[in-house]
Amino acid sequence: MNWAWIDSQWPTIWQEFGQHVWLSVLPVLIGLLLSIPIGALAHRYGWLRPPLVTLAGLTYTIPSLALFVVLPGLLGTKILDPINVVVALTLYTVALLVRTVADALDTVPDDVRQAALAMGYRPVRQLLAVDLPVAAPVIGAGVRVATVSNVSLVAIAALIGVPQLGSLFTQGFQEDFATPIIVGIVGCLVLALVLDLLIVLAIRLLTPWQRAGRIGRRGRSAAAAELAEVVGPAEVIG
């Protein structure tokens, strides 16, 4: 481990870290926004679901390097343009999340859906105000997977020369020098952990009712425990 090298390269490493952050986060945001309507369609129209889910699965199997190389030709962008990376990772995110969104909407209890319909919600407002909030915990879990997956996929873009933490791997490999590789790995790990933590926090903030339910149950069992002390355990059945 060459600490002096890290010290001297710090501004570059920091810049690459920043680059890595937005290259992995932006596609998740765009991908999520795209997946919600597509997933909702797959959920609503049963016949759309198998083709969409299959297409998503196939998209995910395209090697990322191939996509990075092919996209400039399709989009008319330069090979070094970070847009290629954003588009490619957005595709992967959509591929992961379409199915998650459709599955998450399946978890909305039928009672809740019927009640919303009977109250006079129109479809789009029902999706935004009832279905998505209720499905949020499941969608959130999918977003965590997509984000961590993106952090590692971004690194591959170093092979086509888009600078970010992955550049440290190519550099270390070319120069047969371990330090940049270790720094790159640690950087990716830290980034993945921090982003994951932020998402978990966001989910908690968005779904206070989930914890309320748990607090409620704990509250009731605490009350039952108190009761057990007063009347003896045999009487407390429920």
Partner 1 sequence: MITFDAVSKRYPDGTVAVNELTMEIPSGSTTVLVGPSGCGKTTSLRMINRMIDPSAGRILIDGTDVTAVPASRLRRGIGYVIQNAGLFPHRTVLDNVATVPVLTGTPRAAARREAAALLERVGLDPALGRRYPAQLSGGQQQRVGVARALAADPPILLMDEPFSAVDPVVRTELQDELLRLQADLGKTIVFVTHDIDEAIKLGDRLAILAVGGRLAQFAAPSQVLAAPADDFVAGFVGRDRGYRALSFTAGDGIAVRPEPTIRIGDVPTGADWLLVTDDDGHPRGWVDAAAHPGGTPVAEADLRLGGTLLGPGGSVRTALDAALSSPSGRGVAVDADGRVTGSIRAADVFAVAERTARDEPGEPPVPAPAVLSKDRPA
Instruction: List interacting residues with partner 1 (CB under 8 A).
Output: 109, 111-112, 114-122, 125, 130, 133-134, 136, 207, 209, 212-213, 215-217, 219
Q: What whole-number distance in Å separates Cα of residue 147 and Cα of residue 196? A: 7
Measured from the CB atom, is 204 or 217 closer to partner 1?
A: 217
* Positive or negative torsion for Cα 203, 207, 213, 219: positive
Measured from the CB atom, is 51 or 216 closer to partner 1?
A: 216
Measured from the CB atom, is 74 or 201 closer to partner 1?
A: 201
Q: What whole-number distance in Å separates Cα of residue 101 and Cα of residue 51? A: 15
Q: What are the helix (H) ranges across the chain?
A: 3-44, 49-61, 64-75, 82-106, 110-119, 123-126, 132-156, 166-175, 178-206, 208-231
Measured from the CB atom, is 8 or 114 closer to partner 1?
A: 114
